């Protein structure tokens, strides 16, 4: 159980992040939902988390902005008292074939997915080091494990998250702080809605033949957030895509 703990969930307003926020709240944690721009969605998630009897607050913050992240982490600590768990789920796609990919689309994906994850870890790590406790779970992707045509920018950002995860895990392990990654395959969220994959396409791409529900990713995140002895791991929750 996570009573008395505070979890920051980036991208907590929608999709996988929202499911993680609800799951961690159901286990007793207070929740800080970080979102980019859709305040109504963040407020809805906070209401759902509060229904478990815990505190929840929403914070608008561009995770790619180093100084904004610093201020937001400080605000969470001031309002909720501590930070014990960090879940990095904020992410975007700007898909395209590499030979035609715009520089801005490469940069935007790296800035949000990889640098955003670094920014959050960078500022939370200082708190974790002070308390001698911390759990970090980063949402990578199966694309970062095996690559994906049409997603060179996204796959690079998610492979970067895996390198970041393993390095942070090694660096902070002596202080009792863990850092792991979850690598989902296809998950039914706004991010994949535009793909409009048919059942036949899903059966061809995914050994288990279907998309994941966001809650199935959140279960893995909650497992890692509660483990004292797993660190530096990448848990593929992908229906078998990466086998
Ligand atoms: P989603 O439904 O599109 O939600 C994205 C979330 O990230 C939203 O809460 C959004 O906030 C937030 N966000 C985006 N840019 C941000 C920024 N610069 N600063 C702060 N917050 C930002 O995405 P999802 O499908 O849940 O994906 C969550 C994570 O899982 C991502 O890292 C994604 O790459 C990864 N993933 C997803 C899948 C999949 O199939 N869905 C598979 C593998 C990995 P607003 O609501 O304010 O816009």
Residues present in the chain in total = 243
Among 12, 64, 91, say which to mutate for ligand 1: greatest number of ligand atoms within 8 Å of CB.
91
pLDDT of residue 195: 85
Query: What residues are paired with 137 via a beta bridge?
Result: 87, 180
139 lines ligand 1 (CB under 6 A): yes
Tell me the mean pLDDT per 10 residues along the chain, length 243.
Answer: 97 98 98 97 98 98 98 98 98 98 98 99 98 98 98 98 99 98 97 90 96 98 98 98 97
pLDDT of residue 28: 98
In Å, how far are 45, 82, 124, 141, 198 from 136, measured between CA atoms?
Answer: 21, 14, 9, 16, 35
pLDDT of residue 196: 84
pLDDT of residue 194: 84
* CA atoms of 145 and 135, how far apart (whole Å): 22
* CA atoms of 20 and 30, how far apart (whole Å): 12
Those residues with Cβ within 8 angstroms of residue 237's Cβ, 6 or more apart along the chain or in another chain:
182, 183, 184, 185, 212, 216, 217, 220
190 Cα: distance to centroid of ligand 1 (angstroms): 8
């Amino acid at each position: 159980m996570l009573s008395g703990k505070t979890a920051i969930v980036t991208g907590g307003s929608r999709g996988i992040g929202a499911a993680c926020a609800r799951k961690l709240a159901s286990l007793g944690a207070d929740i800080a939902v970080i979102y980019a721009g859709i305040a109504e969605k963040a407020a809805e998630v906070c209401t759902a988390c509060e229904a478990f009897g815990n505190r929840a607050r929403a914070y608008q913050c561009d995770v790619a902005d180093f100084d904004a992240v610093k201020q937001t982490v400080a605000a969470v600590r001031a309002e909720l008292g501590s930070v014990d768990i960090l879940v990095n789920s904020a992410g975007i796609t700007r898909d395209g074939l590499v030979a035609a990919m715009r520089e801005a689309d490469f940069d935007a994906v790296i800035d949000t997915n990889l640098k955003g994850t670094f920014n959050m870890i960078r500022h939370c790590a200082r708190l974790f080091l002070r308390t001698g406790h911390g759990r970090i779970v980063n949402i990578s992707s199966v694309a970062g494990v095996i690559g994906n045509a049409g997603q060179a920018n996204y796959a690079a950002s998610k492979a970067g998250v895996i390198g970041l995860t393993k390095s942070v895990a090694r660096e902070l392990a002596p202080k009792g702080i863990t850092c792991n990654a979850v690598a989902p395959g296809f998950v039914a969220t706004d991010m994949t809605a535009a793909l409009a994959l048919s059942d036949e396409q899903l059966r061809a791409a995914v050994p288990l033949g279907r998309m994941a529900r966001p809650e199935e990713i959140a279960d893995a995140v909650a497992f890692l957030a509660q483990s004292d002895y797993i660190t530096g791991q990448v848990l593929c929750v992908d229906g078998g895509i990466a086998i």
